[in-house]
Amino acid sequence: MSTALATVAHARRIPCEACPLRENEHFRDFTPEELKFVSSFKRGELVSEPSSTILAEGAHSAQLFTLLSGWAFRFKTLEDGRRQILNYLLPGDLVGLQGSVIGEMEHSVESLSAVVLCVFQRDTLPTLFENHPGLAFDVTWLASREERMLDENLLSVGRRSAMERAAYLIAFLYQRAEQVGQAKASKQLIPITQQHVADTLGLSIVHTNKTLRKLAERGLIRWHDRACEVLDPEALADIAGWGGLSDRRRPLI
């Protein structure tokens, strides 16, 4: 289990006007009024090393975040320590909205790589809904998108075979990374271990290892110490029977 905690670092603040994510055509543009509000909404940045706790289940956080760079994941644990990974977080994803609405976190968030997150004060969220309907729709859209991804993950765990589950997960993460500029053409690495895969798919580590080895033998992936190199994302999607992500532009808070 992770014990390191991420820390707020105001000195590294990146102005919203110069946000590198805004250069990505995958994200929709702000209106001038929206950009001004989001810039005032931001309070600083939170930085963490890999395997750091960003939010803990049961915690009451005064903040919510947008992932600016890096990888993280959401998960829940049972009393005996068994972990279920719910979803993965990439740049542009909103983190901690559940705690903002419900009052406490019902899952934890941990960094997979070094990450930087934009920090927003939770008590400013009502102003967003009252005065900026476009941004309010964006928050709702992001929550709905999370639900859609969880639906697909549940389908995998419930109905796909082990091979199909693993192929779907890797193809899904690769396409998400590609859309936000995280997948590099020269070497397409996803910073997960086989234990992460097992905890996502609900499989034993032994079964996971055997399944991933089959995908590697087909030349679809190559496994590294703490990363999966994706060699043929299209073939992985075909094995999973998955049509891929939508190309529509998405919100960025």
pLDDT per residue as tens digits for the range 159-217: 899 999 999 999 999 999 998 887 655 568 999 999 999 999 999 999 999 999 999 99
Across all residues in the chain, what is the average pLDDT?
87
Alpha carbons 30 and 52: distance in angstroms, whole number: 31
Give the least confident one: 119-128, 138-147, 176-185: 176-185
- CA dist 120 and 97 (Å) reads 11
| pTM for the structure as a whole | 0.89
SS3 content of the chain, % helix, strand, coil (to 5): 45, 25, 35
What is the pLDDT confidence band of residue 4, given thresholds at 50, 70 and 90?
Answer: low
How many angstroms separate the Cα of 199 from the Cα of each of 39, 79, 95, 157, 163? 37, 15, 20, 11, 15
Please answer whether residues 96 and 64 qualify as being in contact, where contact means their C-beta atoms are separated by less than 8 angstroms: yes
90, 24 Cβ separation under 8 angstroms? no
72 phi and psi angles, rounded to 5 deg = -150, 175
> What pLDDT, in 10s, does the model give residues 225-244?
889 999 999 999 999 999 98
